[in-house]
Chain A
Amino acid sequence: MAGEPRTFEKHLEDDLHLLLDAHSAGTIPAWRMPAQNSRRVVPFVGGAGAAVGAKIVTGAAIAVLAAGATTEIVITHSANPIDWARNVQQQVQASPRSQGGPAHSQPTSAVHPSASSVGGGSPAVPPRVSPPSLPTVTPPAVPSVTPLPIPSPSTPAVP
């Protein structure tokens, strides 16, 4: 039907005017200029950003812990943390330095420059410093104490 769209559109336009004309004649409210710097600041701390940040930090920490635990399990073939500690102790004891062997690299002292000047023109290699061995301390013998005689009441008091 050719006339139907025109009828519908005419009806639509008429009803739109009936519906909206009343509002197009209303009072225009006063224009209140927005204050300067009135942009809304979305707080990052305490909002969704903080929640996401906390999740990221927690996830990273869990990932690091899991990686460390996996490494220890692979090395020690045990899931017991006591075994991991024992393994670390063994490795430390087996290291060349703890056995008194030659070290691969010696750190140079930046704090005490005089230490590197020992030996004239020789390269600045500080002397190896071994921790002094703790002296064995023998506790002194406890002297035998003879109890003093209890003074009798007839004895005059010492002034």
Chain B
Amino acid sequence: MRGLAGEIAINALPEDEAEAEPEYTPGSVEDFERLYRRSYRKILVTLIGMLGDPAAAEDCTQEAFFRAFRAWSSWRPGAPAEAWLHRIAINTAVSHWRSQRLRQVGEIIKRIGRPAPPVSPATIAENTELGKALHKIPAKQAAALVLRHYHGYTNREIAAALGIPERTVASRLAAAKARLKVELADWVE
């Protein structure tokens, strides 16, 4: 506990919350805090995989939880809460990714002829081969890859979470892998 009113700091999930997804009541502040504690890390890791920048991913995760909290009273108990959160978070990250791309294009145009600035140490995801490769593919494809190959969701679960057809998930995964194979040619050899 931090001691500040209205704030809770948690460093580890309680054992009972590490099991199956509990039932939540829409609009309940206590239930939303449980959902936050339970799913924060999953969401953050997905967004780091998408964006390659932990700081930006943290900002987007917080923004996603704010958006989710505003819509919490309209959440339907039948739908998986984590999947619902993932959809909000991925949409938030995709918006951020697009604005970042636009900004990068503007910066490239501005610094034509000048040397590129040094890589920020915060973007540690870019310092690995996979991190760099993930940063080059579209954010939605990166999200599908992380959900499938890191979290271990099935294509059907990903489709349900993102509200897209299962075939779209499969095609995003196939496109992402094809691009990664080109970027990471050393792996296949």
Contacts and interface: CB of A to CB of B under 8 A. Distances in A.
- Interface size band for A: 20 to 34
A32 B29 CA distance: 11
Q: Could you tell me the dominant secondary structure of chain B's interface residues?
A: helix
Contacts of A74: none
B106 interface: no
Interface of B: 2, 4, 6-11, 29, 33, 36-37, 40-42, 44-45, 48-49, 54, 58, 62, 65-66, 69-70, 125, 128-131, 145-146, 149-150, 177, 180-181, 187-188
29 contacts: A12-B145, A13-B150, A15-B128, A15-B129, A16-B146, A17-B150, A18-B128, A19-B128, A19-B131, A20-B146, A23-B41, A23-B44, A23-B45, A23-B48, A24-B41, A24-B44, A28-B36, A28-B37, A28-B41, A29-B58, A30-B2, A30-B4, A30-B8, A31-B8, A31-B37, A32-B7, A34-B66, A34-B69, A34-B70
B70 A39 contact: yes
B105 to A, nearest CB: 22
Q: Could you tell me the dominant secondary structure of chain A's interface residues?
A: helix
B116 to A, nearest CB: 23
A8 B45 contact: no
A147 to B, nearest CB: 92
Contacts of A18: 128, 130
A64 to B, nearest CB: 40
Contacts of A7: 187-188
